[in-house]
Amino acid sequence: MNAEGREPRESIPASPRPRKAKPTPRSGLTTGEVAGSFADPFLDLRALTHYSNLSVRTLTRHLQDLEHPLPHYKVRGKILVRRSEFDRWMEGFRRRPQQDVPRLVDEVLAKFRR
């Protein structure tokens, strides 16, 4: 006991300072993070590059394509693409294997030979 009649306190070790949270954009999402439902999210261009393996430059060029533009939304300068719309858009670039071409030619020519 000390002079005041109380027992001495044990020293409590100082806890480390809590880390400050990193600032986030206005949307509350970090760059490259997805928004929307989990089944069909909106992707920003950086997240879309990871999903599609296309570069940001290529995707940006397709946004402005006059014949087959990439469907997108622009909210306060941020470009968002719904994943399901991107998948449908990509189907337009699907190519058939070369093996089908001779068979298709034979089918067409067979109609004329009758």
Q: Which parts of the chain register pLDDT below 50?
A: none
Asked if 70 contacts 82 with a C-beta cutoff of 8 angstroms, the reply is no
Say what the pTM is. 0.54
Distance CA(60)–CA(55), nearest Å, equals 9
pLDDT for 103: 81
Q: What is the DSSP letter of 114?
A: -
Asked if 91 contacts 99 with a C-beta cutoff of 8 angstroms, the reply is no
pLDDT for 105: 84
pLDDT for 101: 76
